[in-house]
Protein backbone atom coordinates (compact mmCIF):
# COMPACT_ATOMS: atom_id res chain seq x y z
CA UNK A 1 0.00 0.00 0.00
CA UNK A 2 1.41 3.42 -1.00
CA UNK A 3 1.86 6.26 1.46
CA UNK A 4 -1.04 8.12 -0.18
CA UNK A 5 -3.32 5.17 0.54
CA UNK A 6 -2.07 4.76 4.13
CA UNK A 7 -2.84 8.31 5.24
CA UNK A 8 -5.75 10.68 4.89
CA UNK A 9 -6.18 14.42 5.47
CA UNK A 10 -9.17 15.20 7.69
CA UNK A 11 -10.65 18.38 9.15
CA UNK A 12 -13.11 16.91 11.61
CA UNK A 13 -12.96 14.76 14.72
CA UNK A 14 -15.49 12.68 16.60
CA UNK A 15 -15.75 15.46 19.17
CA UNK A 16 -16.48 18.04 16.48
CA UNK A 17 -19.07 15.79 14.84
CA UNK A 18 -20.89 15.33 18.15
CA UNK A 19 -20.69 19.06 18.87
CA UNK A 20 -22.14 19.80 15.42
CA UNK A 21 -25.18 17.65 16.20
CA UNK A 22 -25.58 19.31 19.61
CA UNK A 23 -25.21 22.78 18.06
CA UNK A 24 -27.85 22.03 15.43
CA UNK A 25 -30.21 20.78 18.16
CA UNK A 26 -29.55 23.87 20.27
CA UNK A 27 -30.28 26.17 17.33
CA UNK A 28 -33.61 24.43 16.72
CA UNK A 29 -34.51 24.80 20.42
CA UNK A 30 -33.53 28.48 20.36
CA UNK A 31 -35.58 29.15 17.23
CA UNK A 32 -38.58 27.83 19.16
CA UNK A 33 -37.87 30.16 22.12
CA UNK A 34 -40.78 32.57 21.37
CA UNK A 35 -43.11 29.63 22.10
CA UNK A 36 -41.58 28.68 25.47
CA UNK A 37 -39.79 31.80 26.76
CA UNK A 38 -41.17 35.04 28.15
CA UNK A 39 -40.60 38.56 26.83
CA UNK A 40 -37.73 39.24 29.24
CA UNK A 41 -36.02 35.98 28.33
CA UNK A 42 -36.24 36.80 24.63
CA UNK A 43 -34.64 40.19 25.19
CA UNK A 44 -31.82 38.62 27.23
CA UNK A 45 -31.22 35.93 24.59
CA UNK A 46 -31.24 38.59 21.86
CA UNK A 47 -28.67 40.64 23.77
CA UNK A 48 -26.47 37.55 24.17
CA UNK A 49 -26.67 36.79 20.43
CA UNK A 50 -25.88 40.38 19.48
CA UNK A 51 -22.80 40.47 21.71
CA UNK A 52 -21.78 37.06 20.39
CA UNK A 53 -21.92 38.43 16.84
CA UNK A 54 -19.71 41.38 17.81
CA UNK A 55 -17.29 39.10 19.68
CA UNK A 56 -16.94 36.66 16.76
CA UNK A 57 -16.31 39.51 14.33
CA UNK A 58 -13.78 41.29 16.58
CA UNK A 59 -12.00 37.97 17.13
CA UNK A 60 -11.78 37.45 13.35
CA UNK A 61 -10.40 40.95 12.93
CA UNK A 62 -7.89 40.94 15.81
CA UNK A 63 -7.34 37.26 16.57
CA UNK A 64 -6.78 36.12 13.00
CA UNK A 65 -6.05 39.20 10.86
CA UNK A 66 -4.00 40.93 13.55
CA UNK A 67 -6.02 44.16 13.23
CA UNK A 68 -6.55 45.17 16.86
CA UNK A 69 -9.31 47.76 16.53
CA UNK A 70 -10.74 49.69 19.47
CA UNK A 71 -13.10 51.59 17.20
CA UNK A 72 -15.61 48.98 16.06
CA UNK A 73 -18.31 51.01 17.81
CA UNK A 74 -18.08 53.25 14.74
CA UNK A 75 -19.84 50.61 12.65
CA UNK A 76 -22.28 49.65 15.43
CA UNK A 77 -23.51 53.24 15.66
CA UNK A 78 -23.32 53.77 11.91
CA UNK A 79 -25.50 50.72 11.27
CA UNK A 80 -28.02 51.89 13.84
CA UNK A 81 -28.25 55.39 12.41
CA UNK A 82 -28.54 54.13 8.83
CA UNK A 83 -31.43 51.90 9.92
CA UNK A 84 -33.23 54.85 11.53
CA UNK A 85 -32.54 57.10 8.53
CA UNK A 86 -33.83 54.60 5.97
CA UNK A 87 -36.91 53.77 8.02
CA UNK A 88 -37.80 57.39 8.88
CA UNK A 89 -36.89 59.26 5.69
CA UNK A 90 -36.88 56.66 2.89
CA UNK A 91 -39.92 54.68 4.12
CA UNK A 92 -37.96 51.43 3.85
CA UNK A 93 -39.31 48.67 6.13
CA UNK A 94 -36.98 48.25 9.14
CA UNK A 95 -36.23 44.58 8.47
CA UNK A 96 -35.31 45.40 4.86
CA UNK A 97 -33.16 48.30 6.07
CA UNK A 98 -30.98 45.96 8.15
CA UNK A 99 -29.02 44.41 5.23
CA UNK A 100 -28.89 47.84 3.53
CA UNK A 101 -27.21 49.19 6.68
CA UNK A 102 -24.66 46.36 6.38
CA UNK A 103 -23.98 47.28 2.76
CA UNK A 104 -23.58 50.94 3.72
CA UNK A 105 -21.12 49.91 6.43
CA UNK A 106 -19.03 48.03 3.87
CA UNK A 107 -19.00 51.05 1.53
CA UNK A 108 -17.98 53.56 4.19
CA UNK A 109 -15.31 51.13 5.47
CA UNK A 110 -13.41 51.29 2.18
CA UNK A 111 -12.00 54.84 2.54
CA UNK A 112 -11.54 54.27 6.28
CA UNK A 113 -9.43 51.18 5.55
CA UNK A 114 -7.20 53.12 3.15
CA UNK A 115 -6.66 55.65 5.94
CA UNK A 116 -6.10 53.44 9.01
CA UNK A 117 -4.09 50.79 7.12
CA UNK A 118 -1.28 53.33 6.96
CA UNK A 119 -0.92 52.86 10.71
CA UNK A 120 0.63 49.95 12.59
CA UNK A 121 0.20 48.42 16.03
CA UNK A 122 -0.98 50.80 18.73
CA UNK A 123 -1.29 53.61 16.20
CA UNK A 124 -3.80 51.52 14.22
CA UNK A 125 -5.84 50.89 17.38
CA UNK A 126 -5.90 54.57 18.31
CA UNK A 127 -6.68 55.50 14.70
CA UNK A 128 -9.80 53.33 14.67
CA UNK A 129 -10.95 54.92 17.94
CA UNK A 130 -10.46 58.40 16.46
CA UNK A 131 -12.58 57.40 13.45
CA UNK A 132 -15.36 56.28 15.82
CA UNK A 133 -15.21 59.63 17.63
CA UNK A 134 -15.50 61.45 14.30
CA UNK A 135 -18.61 59.40 13.53
CA UNK A 136 -20.08 60.32 16.93
CA UNK A 137 -19.46 64.03 16.42
CA UNK A 138 -20.90 63.98 12.90
CA UNK A 139 -24.14 62.23 13.84
CA UNK A 140 -24.49 64.49 16.90
CA UNK A 141 -24.81 67.43 14.47
CA UNK A 142 -27.69 65.94 12.43
CA UNK A 143 -30.75 67.65 13.85
CA UNK A 144 -33.21 65.53 11.86
CA UNK A 145 -31.95 62.52 13.83
CA UNK A 146 -32.24 64.27 17.17
CA UNK A 147 -28.76 65.76 17.32
CA UNK A 148 -26.90 65.03 20.54
CA UNK A 149 -29.99 63.82 22.39
CA UNK A 150 -30.92 61.22 19.79
CA UNK A 151 -34.31 60.05 18.57
CA UNK A 152 -36.79 57.19 18.83
CA UNK A 153 -38.22 55.09 16.04
CA UNK A 154 -41.78 56.33 15.32
CA UNK A 155 -44.60 54.05 16.50
CA UNK A 156 -45.98 53.66 12.97
CA UNK A 157 -42.66 52.25 11.78
CA UNK A 158 -42.39 49.96 14.80
CA UNK A 159 -45.89 48.61 14.16
CA UNK A 160 -45.01 47.91 10.53
CA UNK A 161 -42.73 45.09 11.71
CA UNK A 162 -45.69 43.09 13.03
CA UNK A 163 -49.24 43.78 14.21
CA UNK A 164 -48.71 42.86 17.88
CA UNK A 165 -45.94 43.51 20.40
CA UNK A 166 -45.34 39.81 21.04
CA UNK A 167 -45.05 39.12 17.32
CA UNK A 168 -42.65 42.05 16.86
CA UNK A 169 -40.44 40.72 19.64
CA UNK A 170 -40.52 37.22 18.16
CA UNK A 171 -39.74 38.49 14.65
CA UNK A 172 -36.83 40.62 15.85
CA UNK A 173 -35.55 37.67 17.90
CA UNK A 174 -35.64 35.32 14.91
CA UNK A 175 -33.77 37.80 12.72
CA UNK A 176 -31.09 38.31 15.41
CA UNK A 177 -30.66 34.56 15.91
CA UNK A 178 -30.43 34.03 12.14
CA UNK A 179 -27.71 36.68 11.87
CA UNK A 180 -25.55 35.21 14.65
CA UNK A 181 -25.85 31.71 13.15
CA UNK A 182 -24.93 33.14 9.74
CA UNK A 183 -21.90 34.96 11.17
CA UNK A 184 -20.71 31.91 13.14
CA UNK A 185 -20.98 29.52 10.20
CA UNK A 186 -19.53 32.03 7.72
CA UNK A 187 -16.44 32.60 9.87
CA UNK A 188 -16.05 28.88 10.52
CA UNK A 189 -16.19 27.83 6.86
CA UNK A 190 -14.08 30.81 5.78
CA UNK A 191 -11.29 29.79 8.18
CA UNK A 192 -11.44 26.23 6.78
CA UNK A 193 -11.09 27.52 3.20
CA UNK A 194 -7.92 28.35 1.26
CA UNK A 195 -8.35 32.02 2.09
CA UNK A 196 -8.65 31.07 5.74
CA UNK A 197 -5.38 29.15 5.53
CA UNK A 198 -3.78 32.24 4.02
CA UNK A 199 -5.14 34.36 6.86
CA UNK A 200 -3.77 31.99 9.50
CA UNK A 201 -0.41 31.98 7.72
CA UNK A 202 -0.37 35.79 7.95
CA UNK A 203 -1.20 35.57 11.64
CA UNK A 204 1.68 33.14 12.28
CA UNK A 205 4.35 34.94 10.24
CA UNK A 206 3.68 37.77 7.78
CA UNK A 207 7.13 37.59 6.20
CA UNK A 208 6.85 33.86 5.54
CA UNK A 209 3.30 34.26 4.24
CA UNK A 210 4.39 36.97 1.82
CA UNK A 211 7.22 34.76 0.58
CA UNK A 212 4.59 32.17 -0.42
CA UNK A 213 2.82 34.74 -2.58
CA UNK A 214 0.02 35.70 -0.16
CA UNK A 215 -1.18 39.28 -0.65
CA UNK A 216 -1.20 40.42 2.97
CA UNK A 217 -2.70 43.88 2.42
CA UNK A 218 -5.55 42.59 0.24
CA UNK A 219 -6.38 39.76 2.64
CA UNK A 220 -6.57 42.11 5.63
CA UNK A 221 -8.51 44.64 3.57
CA UNK A 222 -11.19 42.08 2.69
CA UNK A 223 -11.47 40.98 6.33
CA UNK A 224 -11.81 44.59 7.49
CA UNK A 225 -14.57 45.36 4.98
CA UNK A 226 -16.44 42.12 5.75
CA UNK A 227 -16.33 42.68 9.52
CA UNK A 228 -17.42 46.30 9.03
CA UNK A 229 -20.44 45.17 6.98
CA UNK A 230 -21.50 42.52 9.50
CA UNK A 231 -20.82 44.80 12.48
CA UNK A 232 -23.03 47.47 10.88
CA UNK A 233 -25.71 44.83 10.34
CA UNK A 234 -25.44 43.86 14.00
CA UNK A 235 -25.59 47.52 15.03
CA UNK A 236 -28.79 47.96 13.02
CA UNK A 237 -30.32 45.00 14.85
CA UNK A 238 -29.19 46.33 18.23
CA UNK A 239 -31.08 49.57 17.70
CA UNK A 240 -34.01 47.89 16.01
CA UNK A 241 -34.47 46.12 19.33
CA UNK A 242 -33.82 49.22 21.46
CA UNK A 243 -36.05 51.47 19.28
CA UNK A 244 -34.07 54.53 20.39
CA UNK A 245 -30.65 55.81 19.43
CA UNK A 246 -28.29 58.58 20.52
CA UNK A 247 -24.66 59.39 19.63
CA UNK A 248 -23.33 58.71 23.13
CA UNK A 249 -24.96 55.28 23.29
CA UNK A 250 -24.43 54.25 19.67
CA UNK A 251 -20.72 55.08 19.61
CA UNK A 252 -19.89 54.00 23.17
CA UNK A 253 -16.44 52.44 23.30
CA UNK A 254 -17.29 50.80 26.62
CA UNK A 255 -20.52 49.11 25.50
CA UNK A 256 -19.53 47.95 22.02
CA UNK A 257 -15.76 47.49 22.11
CA UNK A 258 -14.31 47.25 25.63
CA UNK A 259 -16.84 44.65 26.79
CA UNK A 260 -16.42 42.72 23.54
CA UNK A 261 -12.63 42.68 23.96
CA UNK A 262 -13.13 41.44 27.54
CA UNK A 263 -15.31 38.58 26.28
CA UNK A 264 -12.84 37.52 23.60
CA UNK A 265 -9.77 37.76 25.82
CA UNK A 266 -11.18 35.74 28.72
CA UNK A 267 -12.72 33.20 26.36
CA UNK A 268 -9.67 32.76 24.16
CA UNK A 269 -8.62 35.02 21.30
CA UNK A 270 -7.73 33.36 18.03
CA UNK A 271 -10.27 30.53 18.30
CA UNK A 272 -13.90 30.15 17.28
CA UNK A 273 -14.86 28.65 20.62
CA UNK A 274 -13.22 31.48 22.61
CA UNK A 275 -15.80 34.22 21.94
CA UNK A 276 -18.65 31.80 22.68
CA UNK A 277 -17.13 30.85 26.06
CA UNK A 278 -16.33 34.50 26.80
CA UNK A 279 -19.88 35.69 26.09
CA UNK A 280 -21.35 32.95 28.29
CA UNK A 281 -18.96 33.74 31.16
CA UNK A 282 -19.62 37.48 30.90
CA UNK A 283 -23.39 37.15 31.07
CA UNK A 284 -23.19 34.65 33.93
CA UNK A 285 -21.00 37.07 35.89
CA UNK A 286 -23.21 40.04 34.98
CA UNK A 287 -26.39 38.31 36.14
CA UNK A 288 -24.74 37.12 39.37
CA UNK A 289 -23.20 40.49 40.20
CA UNK A 290 -25.94 42.80 38.86
CA UNK A 291 -27.03 43.85 42.38
CA UNK A 292 -23.56 45.17 43.23
CA UNK A 293 -23.83 48.19 40.95
CA UNK A 294 -20.61 49.52 39.44
CA UNK A 295 -18.54 47.32 41.77
CA UNK A 296 -19.17 44.43 39.42
CA UNK A 297 -16.93 46.18 36.86
CA UNK A 298 -14.04 45.95 39.32
CA UNK A 299 -14.77 42.27 39.83
CA UNK A 300 -14.83 41.72 36.07
CA UNK A 301 -11.44 43.42 35.83
CA UNK A 302 -10.03 41.14 38.54
CA UNK A 303 -11.45 38.08 36.77
CA UNK A 304 -9.81 39.17 33.51
CA UNK A 305 -6.43 39.68 35.21
CA UNK A 306 -6.55 36.29 36.92
CA UNK A 307 -7.49 34.50 33.69
CA UNK A 308 -4.78 36.26 31.71
CA UNK A 309 -2.18 35.32 34.32
CA UNK A 310 -3.26 31.70 34.76
CA UNK A 311 -4.45 31.05 31.19
CA UNK A 312 -2.87 33.52 28.73
CA UNK A 313 -4.77 31.89 25.84
CA UNK A 314 -8.08 32.27 27.63
CA UNK A 315 -10.38 29.72 29.22
CA UNK A 316 -10.93 27.79 26.01
CA UNK A 317 -7.21 27.86 25.17
CA UNK A 318 -6.45 26.32 28.57
CA UNK A 319 -8.91 23.43 28.10
CA UNK A 320 -7.89 22.92 24.47
CA UNK A 321 -4.21 22.58 25.37
CA UNK A 322 -4.94 20.42 28.39
CA UNK A 323 -7.48 18.01 26.86
CA UNK A 324 -6.81 18.42 23.10
CA UNK A 325 -10.46 19.27 22.34
CA UNK A 326 -11.61 20.98 19.15
CA UNK A 327 -15.31 21.77 18.77
CA UNK A 328 -14.77 23.80 15.59
CA UNK A 329 -11.63 22.34 13.98
CA UNK A 330 -10.22 24.52 11.23
CA UNK A 331 -6.83 22.88 10.76
CA UNK A 332 -6.15 19.86 8.59
CA UNK A 333 -4.67 16.74 10.19
CA UNK A 334 -3.00 13.72 8.63
CA UNK A 335 -4.29 10.44 10.09
CA UNK A 336 -3.43 6.79 9.49
CA UNK A 337 -5.99 4.58 7.75
CA UNK A 338 -6.23 0.97 8.81
CA UNK A 339 -8.15 -1.67 6.92
CA UNK A 340 -11.36 -0.70 8.70
CA UNK A 341 -11.14 3.01 8.02
CA UNK A 342 -9.47 6.02 9.56
CA UNK A 343 -7.53 5.73 12.78
Would you list the DSSP string of 191-219? HHSHHHHHHHHHHH-HHHHHHTT--HHHH
DSSP string, 316-337: HHHHHHHH---SS--S-EEEEE
C-alpha 51, offset from chain centre: 7
pLDDT at residue 335 in the model: 59
Task: Give the domain extent around 161.
Answer: 10-252
**Averaged pLDDT, 306-317:** 87
* Rounded-to-5 percentages of helix, strand, coil across the chain: 75, 5, 20
**Residue 222 within a domain:** yes
Whether 267 contacts 276, CB under 8 Å: yes
Q: Is the Cα dihedral 257, 262, 267, 269 positive or negative?
A: positive
Total number of domains in the chain: 1
- Asked if residue 160 belongs to a domain, the reply is yes
Task: Specify if 33 maps to a domain.
Answer: yes
Residue-level pLDDT at 341? 47
- The pLDDT tens digits for 88-129 are 999 999 999 999 999 999 999 999 999 999 998 899 999 999
Rounded to an integer, what distance in angstroms lies between the CA atom of residue 270 and that of residue 248?
Answer: 30
- So what's the pLDDT on residue 333? 60
Greater pLDDT, 311 or 7? 311
| pLDDT above 50 (res 343) | no
- 21: in domain: yes
Residue 300 is assigned to a structural domain of this protein: no
* Chain mean position to CA 140: 26
In a domain, 328, yes or no: no
Summarised one tens digit per residue, pLDDT across range 229-281 is 999 999 999 999 999 999 999 999 999 999 999 999 999 998 999 999 999 99
Residue 222 DSSP SS3 = helix
* Strand, helix or coil for residue 141: coil
Q: Give a yes or no: residue 92 inside a domain.
A: yes
Mean pLDDT in residue range 176-186: 96
H helix intervals, 117-215:
122-140, 155-159, 165-192, 194-204, 206-211
Q: Is the pLDDT of residue 322 over 90?
A: no
3-class DSSP assignment, residue 341: strand
- The β-bridge partners of 336 are 7
Amino acid sequence: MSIANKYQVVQSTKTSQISSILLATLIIVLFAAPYWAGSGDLRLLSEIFLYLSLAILWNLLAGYAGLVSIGQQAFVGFGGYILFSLAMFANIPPLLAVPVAGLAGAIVAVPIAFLVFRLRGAYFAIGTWVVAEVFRLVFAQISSLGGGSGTSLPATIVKSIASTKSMREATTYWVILSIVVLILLSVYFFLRSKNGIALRAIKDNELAAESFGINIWRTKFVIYIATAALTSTTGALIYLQKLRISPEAAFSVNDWTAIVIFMVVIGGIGSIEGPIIGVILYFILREMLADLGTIYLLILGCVAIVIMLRAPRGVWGYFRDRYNIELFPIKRSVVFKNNKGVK
